[in-house]
Amino acid sequence: MTRAIYQGGSRTAQLDPVMRELLPVLRYFYLAFTQPTSNVWRHGYQAAIGTWGEARGLAIAHAGQKFVHDLTGCGLVMPAFIDPLNIEKRDILTSDEARILLLLCYMGADDVARARDIIASLNQGRVDPSLVRHGLALSAHLDPAHATRVVPRLTLVS
């Protein structure tokens, strides 16, 4: 995740493949937080499961939901996201979406200075520890090395 995710355009085709797959998931959760009576959050989980499989997809979706929750509560101005259900605009990337994905990329690469600058710009000059914690957790789940870890199986010993 150290590659550049955004090459100066406004289209999702210019995103790193991992970030391109994550974007609709984050958009669904953002929409769910701005429309709390909807069940659109379920689409976010389904999109993640469809992309990364059940175990990893659920972990990414859960971490993404926490991250977006912090994003929607941290600043005075809500970031601009494209409606994931709008087929005509889903290939457009807002500048806020690009900054948020870049933040996750910097967090995954341990680029503290750049990540801190983006967090401060999103959060009216403050660095929110919850946003940092959940952003780091999400970027850890997106790391390809995280997907290849072997979880030991439990066995019954009698």
DSSP state string for the chain: --S-S--SSSBGGGS-HHHHHHHHHHHHHHHHHHSTTS-THHHHHHHHHHHH-HHHHHHHHHHHHHHHHHHHHHSSSPPP---TT-TTTTTB--HHHHHHHHHHHHHHTT-HHHHHHHHHHHTTT---HHHHHHHHHHHHHHSHHHHTPPPPPP----
CA distances from 137 to 94, 111, 133, 146 (A): 24, 15, 6, 11
* pLDDT of res. 8: 47
* pLDDT of res. 55: 94
What is the average pLDDT value for the chain, to the nearest integer?
A: 84
Across the range 56-85, mean pLDDT stands at 87
pLDDT tens by residue, 83-138? 998 999 989 999 889 999 999 999 999 998 999 999 888 877 788 888 899 999 99
- End-to-end C-alpha distance for the chain, whole angstroms: 45
* pLDDT of res. 150: 52
* pLDDT of res. 154: 62
Residue 77 CA from chain centroid, whole number: 19
* pLDDT of res. 103: 93
Of 24-28, 53-57, 85-89, 135-139, give the lowest mean pLDDT range.
85-89
**What whole-number distance in Å separates Cα of residue 122 and Cα of residue 96?**
9
Of 49-63, 91-105, 136-150, give the lowest mean pLDDT range.
136-150
Nearest CA among 77, 75, 64 for reference residue 135: 64
CA distances from 96 to 58, 119, 157 (A): 25, 12, 53
32: number of CA atoms within 13 Å, CB side? Answer: 20
The pTM of the full predicted model, rounded to 2 decimals, is 0.83
* pLDDT of res. 76: 54
